[in-house]
Structures are given as C-alpha cells and as structure tokens.
Homo-oligomer: A and B are copies of this chain.
Amino acid sequence: MTSTHWTLAERAAKMNPSVIREILKVTERPGIISFAGGLPSSKTFPVAEFEAACAKVLKDDPAGALQYAASEGYGPLRELVAQQLGAQSAAAGVPWKVDPNQILITTGSQQGLDLVAKILIDARSKVLVESPTYLGAVMAFTPMEPNVVSVASDEDGVDIADLASKSDGARFLYVLPNFQNPTGRSMNEARRAALSAEAARSGLPLMEDNPYGDLWFDQAPPAPLTARNPEGGIYLGSFSKVLAPGLRMGFMVAPKAVYPKLLQAKQAADLHSPSFNQRLIFEVMQGGFLDRHVPTIRSLYKAQRDAMLEALAQHFPNAQSSPDTSLTWNTPAGGMFLWARLPAGMNAVDLLPHAVDKGVAFVPGAPFYADHGDPRTMRLSFVTPSVEEIHRGVAALAAAIQYQQGA
C-alpha cells in the first residue's frame, strides 16, 4: 500500500496563516484590555430586530427563505441597497444611479475580494494597494498569485504621483477611502477628485472597499469613487459594521464589463449567499432602520475614540513637540481604528509581549504593508473596550513603552 500522493497546487505554497493571528496568540490571556480586535462592538447588534425578523421571515415565506435561490441575491435586498447607495451618494453631491441588476450579494464583503481576484488576476498580474492596506484583501488576492505593488499613501490617501508612476499595466487599484483598516485614514474630496482624474487618464480600474463609511463621527464622507465613474470601478459594501458580522452578508456593485464573470465565479464558489440571512437583513433594514440605528453606533464609537485621544494626550504629552521620542497618532474621523507610531528605534512586534505583561494588546502595523513595513507602527481599535478600559489600556501601553525605552 502506497501512502496517498497529496500534491498541493503551486499557489498553496504562497498561502500562509495570517501573520496577525499568529502574533495575537500572545494576547490570548484573561484580563487583557484589547485594542487589537477588528470586531465591531456587540453592544451595537440589533438583537430584538433580528428576533422579530426571524419570526416574520419564517412565518411569511418559510419555503422561500430556506430553499436554494438565485446566485445574484434576493431581489428586494438588491433594490434596497441600490436605493440607499444612490441616496447617500446624491447627498454627498455626486448622483449615482445604481441599477439593482449590477448588485451581487456576497457572503461578507470578503467574498467580493475572492471573486474579484478570480476574474481579474493572472499569475504575476500587477495589483496596486495602499500602503499600508487591509491584510485580508492581500490574503484573498494571494491564491491568484499577483504581483502586489504598494502605492505610497499619507493621511489623505494614496499619493497620486506615485500612483501615476505605477499604474501602467496594473489590473486594478484596491482602495479603502473611508476610515481605512488599519490606519483609520480617509481620503478627502480633493484627493478623491485627483484619484478619479488619474484613473480616468490611465484607464486604471478601481476596486473600492467601503465597510466603514457609515461610521462617520462629525460629517459624512465625500461621495464614493465608483459614483464618479460607475463603469470604471467595483464597489464593495458590507452589513457587518452596521448590523452584524455573524450573518456574513455583503454586496458588490459591478459594471457590465465584469458582472457576468463575477456572477459565474459566485455561483461556482457557494451557489448563492444564504437566502435566510438575505431576508433577515432586508426585513431589519426596510423602513429606514439604519437611519435610526447607525447614529447610535457612531456616537458610541466617537465617545470611545475621544476617550482614546484624551488618554493618549495625557500619557504622551510630548507627542507634538518630540515626535521622535514619543508615541504619535492620528485622529480618525470615523470607523474603528487609530494608527499610532512608536518612538524612533522601537519595534511594535518586540513591544507587544511587554505590553501584554502590563495588561494591554494591540496589533503591530508592519504586517499590513505589502512591502517594507514601518516597524514602529501599530493599530489601536477603540470600539470594543469601555471608556474606563481605554484609559487603563493606554496607561498600560505608556508603561510598556517607558519600560522598553529604559531597557
């Protein structure tokens, strides 16, 4: 008897466990205050509304809700999403007439990344990403073996000159314009206009990922990039941050040039996203629920961001005057994350175990870069700990940094 010859595909050698998951294993200890999570606060889940929706969906049309369904998604949900996108974009000053037939319901917006990778990436295709970028997107692209190229980025988004120098032959630019993961950064209107103009000049397709856009604190972000040229981009949206991630529901808006192939990839991947979940999301959303619900998420997260900014200012009073010897950080205008940078010479990966000893966890920033990561950076989530925990956690972080600086 021969032992079985398992021969892995070449691409499998490039697929690796999430570096971040491995790093975070040291943080799995009781009592640790975690700024490391990428989870929305479970306090924001509309549990009573989901309960009512379950009962209604199973009463009104159990056979439909529990049966196989179309790969495109549940019609009424596609219409509702199209209306909401159109209304939001118009309110931001850029009319966008979204055809429900261009919407594909996905199993979380993560699946949208997988489908796009399948139909747009050949081995060695150039794919452009922000610097840093969402690690889960790079993990979704990796099985199709792209050449991932980082475009220089600052607090306002991608650097247009650097983009122009790299866009030739690229399959697309993957970009998170609103409260980006991991940095919390947003693209302002001027940068969006410049990016749209540059994409139009070079013919570069944009893949716009917008899981956090509704979580703004003081004012809604500028209109989506895709609204400015719907034939030139794919837009990914999610219900995970405004309703609940555990239903794994997202969507994509795609132009006619690519929609049929995305649909075929979707059908081959999982036939369709759960019919039951699509109807639950529709039932909860219809009648303007998000207009009442999302403001409560915004105010919770804003209060916690404020607490984190206050605690940081208190524990690192020299950030502005001596950015080389102090922790420094940005001020995200929404979303879930703040981006911080350690004093010169320090390394967030090395700091992490000491921080955990002091009682706080974070995610080192380097793994979020597709090329040379800045080892001083870290991502701090402010959405799951309480205000009191945020203060204690920042104090613990300051103590760990002080300890490392003294060492």
Please list the residues of chain A having a beta carbon within 8 angstroms of any beta carbon in chain B: 1-12, 15-18, 38-40, 42, 45, 47, 50-51, 54-55, 58, 62-69, 107-108, 110-111, 113-114, 118-122, 125, 136, 139-140, 142-144, 171, 199-205, 229, 231-233, 240, 244-248, 255, 257-258, 260-261, 264-265, 267-277
Do the beta carbons of B68 and A39 come within 8 Å of each other?
Answer: yes
| CB-based closest 7 A-B pairs | A42-B63, A246-B275, A54-B54, A66-B244, A4-B232, A5-B203, A2-B203
Chain B CB within 10 Å, residue with most, of A15, A139, A203: A15
Given A7-B171, A143-B265, A270-B107; A119-B12 close (CB under 8 Å)? yes
Given A257-B6, A265-B143; A271-B54 close (CB under 8 Å)? no
Chain B CB within 10 Å, residue with most, of A1, A11, A246: A246
Contact of A120 among B9, B45, B58, B246 (CB under 8 A): B9
Chain B residues whose CB sits within 8 angstroms of the CB of A268 once the complex forms: 15, 110, 113-114, 136, 139-140, 142-143
Q: How far is the CA of A120 from the CA of B47 in the complex (A)?
A: 41
Do the beta carbons of A110 and B68 come within 8 Å of each other?
Answer: no
Residue of B nearest to A119 (CB): B12
Chain B proximity of A198: nearest CB distance (Å): 11
Chain B residues whose CB sits within 8 angstroms of the CB of A203 once the complex forms: 2-5
Given A8-B120, A66-B247; A50-B58 close (CB under 8 Å)? yes
Can you list 26 residue pairs at the A/B interface with Cβ under 8 Å? A2-B201, A4-B199, A4-B257, A5-B203, A6-B120, A6-B255, A8-B119, A8-B258, A8-B261, A9-B119, A11-B119, A15-B265, A16-B264, A39-B68, A42-B63, A50-B62, A51-B58, A54-B55, A55-B55, A67-B246, A111-B269, A114-B268, A139-B264, A248-B270, A248-B272, A274-B274
Do the beta carbons of B245 and A9 come within 8 Å of each other?
Answer: no
Q: How far is the CA of A8 from the CA of B8 in the complex (A)?
A: 25
Residue of B nearest to A263 (CB): B17
Chain B proximity of A98: nearest CB distance (Å): 17
Chain B residues whose CB sits within 8 angstroms of the CB of A260 once the complex forms: 17
Given A7-B120, A66-B42; A267-B18 close (CB under 8 Å)? yes
Contact of A67 among B125, B244, B257, B277 (CB under 8 A): B244
Q: How far is the CA of A143 from the CA of B115 in the complex (A)?
A: 11
Q: How far is the CA of A373 from the CA of B229 in the complex (A)?
A: 45
Chain B residues whose CB sits within 8 angstroms of the CB of A246 once the complex forms: 64-69, 274-276
Do the beta carbons of B62 and A201 come within 8 Å of each other?
Answer: no
Given A118-B11, A171-B7; A68-B270 close (CB under 8 Å)? no
10 further contact pairs, Cβ within 8 A, besides A246-B276, A247-B276: A4-B233, A5-B203, A8-B119, A12-B265, A18-B267, A51-B54, A66-B245, A113-B268, A139-B267, A140-B269
Given A8-B119, A9-B125, A121-B9; A1-B200 close (CB under 8 Å)? yes
Chain B residues whose CB sits within 8 angstroms of the CB of A114 once the complex forms: 268-270
Contact of A108 among B143, B202, B271 (CB under 8 A): B271
Q: How far is the CA of A352 from the CA of B94 in the complex (A)?
A: 49
Chain B residues whose CB sits within 8 angstroms of the CB of A274 once the complex forms: 107, 246-248, 274, 277
Residue of B nearest to A118 (CB): B143
Do the beta carbons of A45 and B68 come within 8 Å of each other?
Answer: no
Do the beta carbons of A45 and B63 come within 8 Å of each other?
Answer: yes
Chain B proximity of A279: nearest CB distance (Å): 9
Chain B residues whose CB sits within 8 angstroms of the CB of A111 once the complex forms: 269-270
Chain B proximity of A120: nearest CB distance (Å): 6
Chain B CB within 10 Å, residue with most, of A18, A67, A275: A67
Q: How far is the CA of A247 from the CA of B113 in the complex (A)?
A: 22
Chain B residues whose CB sits within 8 angstroms of the CB of A67 once the complex forms: 39-40, 42, 45, 244-246
Contact of A47 among B38, B62, B118, B144 (CB under 8 A): B62
Given A16-B264, A201-B1; A47-B68 close (CB under 8 Å)? no
